Amino acid sequence: AQKVTQAQTEISVVEKEDVTLDCVYETRDTTYYLFWYKQPPSGELVFLIRRNSFDEQNEISGRYSWNFQKSTSSFNFTITASQVVDSAVYFCALSALIGGGADGLTFGKGTHLIIQP
């Protein structure tokens, strides 16, 4: 069985601070994908990143960066110089690669990020 844990239910920081959202996962599959999604107050799910289990390279995209560590089964997400528009619920999710991901996504419970002006 797969499991994704986002231990931080809610984080509140002041604008321009850096913030890291934690994600720990469990799976018996050796090949899998990890994802981060953003859900702003408008409700849609916005795709942020996909990483497969063979690629442990960290990734940076503008103010966003992701740290994937298989040794600790973690896939953490950092926002640098946070902005009010970053306020949203962020979900970490896991999908088995076998079957082309047809098993769907297992989501964490989400972290509600509040950026105060």
Contact residues toward another protein (CB under 8 A) are 33, 35, 39, 43-45, 47, 50, 89, 91, 93, 95, 97, 99-107, 109-110, 112
Nearer to another protein, 62 or 100 (CB): 100
CB of 16 to another protein, least distance (A): 26
Interior/surface letters 32-66, b for 16+ CB within 10 angstroms, e for the rest = bbbbbbbeeeeeeeeebbebebeeeeeeeeeebbb
Nearer to another protein, 82 or 91 (CB): 91
CB of 81 to another protein, least distance (A): 26
Nearer to another protein, 24 or 97 (CB): 97
Q: CA-to-CA distance for 8 and 10, rounded, in angstroms? A: 6
Cβ atoms of 36 and 98 closer than 8 Å: no
- Sequence-distant (≥ 6) Cβ neighbours of residue 30 within 8 angstroms: 53
Nearer to another protein, 39 or 80 (CB): 39
CB of 116 to another protein, least distance (A): 20
CB of 36 to another protein, least distance (A): 11
Q: CA-to-CA distance for 105 and 94, rounded, in angstroms? A: 5
